[in-house]
């Protein structure tokens, strides 16, 4: 497999490193900054004998090197700063990601595309519009990361293994995401049987502000360890045709009452990309929250005037 990671910043470089260490394919690391992707790729390759991988990592400034890519992961764009919302990044990142989408369309017309750039759901819509690719081949990394944050907080609160915790977060990758406590379990036991409502509500609020909490602590830059892990988990499910069920920003065609919009919903992810969207039974309140979240994405997309 040939996997291109666009953007050699913290998220992109960490994604490339983890893809190589898992031997999911040969990696192209692209960035417009001369020398940076080449230097990071060389550094990674010099760790290959120590980490025990034979994947090749090549750094480049030439988008023509995307040619033949099976998967493209887009991480390009500005990172959030303290006090910034994901939507504050809209105009500048739309320009950057739009240019990347043009290159993907030109050089990797058969690729599956995973968008990581913020504001994520909107950038995913932009990439789909600019490439014209079938919607099952374009998706955003959102719910996997948000669910991982929710799982982390549950594991820490209960003092249990992170491996035993499952969670599901739907909606946009923003302040109005929809963590579903009813679908969160520890070894099959619902967290509502293990934790009081006020504790669960606090973790839901912390999950919604998970990215902002890290931005505030770092003061400069934003999260990259967990986002890269989330992107790699999606790539792995595609490369190995694992058909894992995970929440991603997918194009809805009426599911959950949402049509013509990318928003976080559970999907089955396999070698062809999104193989199907899974419709969970939601309460009236949960469904309303999801639709409100999708509506906010639609409003932001409209501001792009595509």
Q: Contact at 8 Å (CB) between 231 and 114?
A: yes
Choose, from 30, 136, 173, 296, the residue flagged as catalytic: 173
- Label residue 45 exposed, middle or buried (CB < 10 Å: 0-12, 13-18, 19+): middle
Known active-site residue 173: yes
Distance CA 186, CA 203 (A): 15
Residue 165 makes CB contacts below 8 A (sequence gap 6+) with: 151, 154, 155, 184, 185, 186
- Label residue 71 exposed, middle or buried (CB < 10 Å: 0-12, 13-18, 19+): buried
Tokens 């990309």 found at: 273
Distance CA 42, CA 31 (A): 14
CA distance from start to end of the chain: 33
How many CB atoms within 10 Å of residue 94? Answer: 21
Residue 104 makes CB contacts below 8 A (sequence gap 6+) with: 6, 66, 72, 74, 111, 113, 127, 131
Tokens 């302040």 found at: 175
Q: Contact at 8 Å (CB) between 111 and 291?
A: no
What is the token pair recorded at 181?
């406590």
Active site residues: 173
């Amino acid at each position: 497999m040939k996997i291109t990671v666009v953007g050699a910043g913290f998220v992109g470089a960490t994604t490339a490193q983890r893809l190589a260490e898992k031997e999911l394919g040969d990696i192209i690391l692209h960035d417009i900054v001369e020398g940076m992707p080449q230097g990071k790729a060389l550094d990674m390759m010099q760790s290959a004998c120590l980490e025990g991988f034979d994947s090749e990592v090549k750094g480049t400034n030439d988008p023509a090197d995307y040619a033949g890519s099976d998967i493209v992961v887009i991480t390009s764009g500005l990172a959030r700063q303290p006090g910034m919302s994901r939507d504050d990044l809209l105009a500048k990142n739309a320009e950057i990601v739009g240019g990347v989408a043009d290159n993907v369309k030109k050089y990797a017309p058969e690729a599956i595309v995973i968008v990581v750039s913020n504001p994520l759901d909107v950038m995913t819509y932009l990439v789909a519009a600019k490439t014209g690719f079938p919607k099952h081949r374009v998706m955003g990394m959102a719910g996997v990361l948000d669910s991982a944050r929710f799982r982390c907080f549950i594991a820490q609160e209960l003092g249990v293994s992170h491996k035993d915790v499952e969670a599901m977060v739907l909606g946009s990758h923003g302040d109005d995401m929809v963590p579903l406590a009813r679908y969160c379990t520890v070894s099959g036991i619902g967290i509502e049987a293990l934790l009081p409502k006020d504790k669960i509500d606090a973790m839901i609020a912390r999950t919604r502000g998970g990215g902002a909490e890290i931005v505030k602590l770092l003061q400069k830059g934003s999260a990259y360890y967990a986002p890269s892990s989330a992107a790699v988990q999606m790539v792995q499910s595609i490369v190995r045709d694992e058909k894992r069920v995970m929440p991603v920003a997918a194009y809805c065609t009426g599911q959950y009452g949402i049509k013509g919009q990318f928003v976080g919903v559970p999907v089955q992810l396999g070698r062809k990309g999104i193989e199907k969207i899974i419709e969970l039974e939601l309460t009236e309140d949960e469904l309303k929250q999801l639709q409100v979240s999708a509506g906010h994405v639609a409003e932001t997309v409209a501001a792009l005037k595509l």
